[in-house]
Amino acid sequence: MTAHSVAELQEAWRAIEAGEFSHGPRSTSAAPGPATVWTPAPSERVVVVVGCAGGVGASTLALALATAAGAPARVVECGPPLASGFSAAANAELGTEGPWRRGSRGDVLLERPIAGDAIVPVPTESSVEWTLVDTNWTTASGPGAGWLGSMLRTLDDVVLVTNATVPGVRRLESCAELLGWDALGVVVGPTAKRWPRPVKVAAAGIPARVHLTDFPLDPRLQVTGLTPDPLPAPLLKAAQNVLALLRKEPT
């Protein structure tokens, strides 16, 4: 795999987005068409959970956050169906609504696209209090991102997820630089105190505006993927810690 510098990634991102991700105050893009706009309900808290690379645990984190929220919640998966992390995660399948396939896990609703179109469909209307948007950097920043790209550019609650490896942490650094403002960085693996020294050195390069925290890796889920079984208690406890960071008022 060819390595690219942060500067090169930034330039590529600016070329795609025509400068909308420049540092400093967020710019306002031209008004998108109706199909690219999503307006959540006034009482709906939206958090975008972005996997900085594939297979780093973003879907597991999104589901854990929704489960630990202690209020009606849903996970909206934005990615191709063949890459879905929720194909076997529901306790009950609820059929389809428009372009979405729906399932449930207790109080948590799962929604994932039916078709593998390049453009992510607009989420359905919902009365939940928390919506966790589960996606990856490529989908959220691509030319067909539509409402998802707009949400990433304007939403305060963005969680960047990676794994506790040197390439993973460097990928988080690159995504944080391209994002250009505050975010929560979640590193899946051992606790921060137990990160190998090269990982700690790589993490030192992450911008200070990104608050780093860790999230445990469950060996069983590494093998089985998400299933209808309850999530392990350590994951839910760690999710509560992440929610506490999200609930903090900006300083």
Q: For each of the chain's 251 residues, which pLDDT tens digit applies?
A: 445 555 555 555 555 444 444 444 444 444 444 357 889 999 999 999 999 998 999 999 999 999 999 999 999 999 888 889 999 999 999 999 999 999 999 999 999 999 877 678 899 999 999 999 999 999 888 777 889 988 888 888 999 999 999 999 999 999 999 988 899 999 999 999 999 999 999 999 999 999 999 999 999 999 999 999 999 999 999 999 999 999 774 44
Alpha-carbon Rg for the chain, nearest whole angstrom, is 17
39-54 burial: b if 16+ Cβ within 10 Å, else e: ebeeebbbbbbbbbbe
CA 98/CA 46 separation, integer angstroms: 21
Task: Quote the pLDDT of residue 8.
Answer: 56
Task: Quote the pLDDT of residue 141.
Answer: 84
Task: Quote the pLDDT of residue 130.
Answer: 96
- Residues 111, 124: contact at Cβ < 8 Å? yes
Q: Which residue has the tokens 């400068």?
A: 19
CA 242/CA 225 separation, integer angstroms: 21
Task: Quote the pLDDT of residue 120.
Answer: 84
Cα distances (Å, whole numbers) of residue 176 to 44, 128, 232: 25, 29, 29
Task: Quote the pLDDT of residue 7.
Answer: 55
Torsion angle, alpha carbons of 70, 73, 77, 82, to 10: 80
CA 34/CA 47 separation, integer angstroms: 22
- Residues 88, 226: contact at Cβ < 8 Å? yes
DSSP secondary structure of the chain: -----HHHHHHHHHHHHTTTT-SSSPP-PPPPPGGG-----TT-EEEEEEESSTTSSHHHHHHHHHHHTSS-EEEEE-S-GGG-S-TTT-SEEEEEETTEEEEEETTEEEEEESS--SSPPPPPP---SEEEEEEEHHHHHSTT-THHHHHHHH-S-EEEEEESSHHHHHHHHHHHHHH-S-EEEEEESS-GGGS-HHHHHHHTTS-TTEEEEEEPPPHHHHHH-S-SSPPPHHHHHHHHHHHHHHHSPP-
What CATH topology corresponds to 46-247?
Rossmann fold (3.40.50)
